Amino acid sequence: MIVALYAHASPDRQRENEPFASNQISRMRALCEAQGFSVATEYIETEDTDTEHHTPMFKKMISEATEETVPYDAIIVSSCSGPFQHEVTYAIYKHHLGKHGVDLIDVDQRSLDETFSVKILRLVLSSYEAPLKNDHILRDWVLDK
């Protein structure tokens, strides 16, 4: 499997704990080695904005992952990293990326399987999308695209 890695460390956190982003990347690389994944690219976010969904590397990663020709099969993230700190946000992006054939894997989970709450949230999101027949509401309200 070809993957991308995403790490986010706010400037405040970097000052407190210098190797925060590099520790995330190290854990992700170890997972890749253990699972036999090939790393295509790394997105390392150091900018701090009012919302973590508007950081340049995050927007670039989501944009590239939703193009017609996707350069990787999955994005590996850390649940302690930026926009993926909250399970709801993680589930929304996992659902959105999954529609483009890209999986979202949390390096901090004990297994690569989804947690029960993420599965339930994805089911709820799917049930809301089904009658709409397009995803403009999800895209406009939640993903800010």
Q: Which domains, from first to last, does the chain contain?
A: 2-142 (3.40.50.1390)
Going residue by residue through the chain (145 aa), what tens digit of pLDDT does each one get?
A: 999 998 877 555 544 554 566 788 888 999 899 999 999 999 988 766 545 556 788 889 989 999 989 899 999 987 655 566 666 777 788 888 988 999 988 887 644 455 666 666 666 666 655 555 455 555 555 555 4
Burial class (CB in 10 A: 0-12, 13-18, 19+), 13: middle
If DSSP codes are grouped into helix, strand and coil, which group holds residue 22? Answer: helix
Distance of alpha carbon 46 from alpha carbon 66, whole angstroms: 22
- Can you give the pTM of this predicted structure? 0.69
Closest Cα to residue 43, out of 96, 81, 16? 81
Other beta carbons less than 10 A from residue 35's beta carbon: 12
Structure tokens at 50: 């009012």
Structure tokens at 123: 């089911």
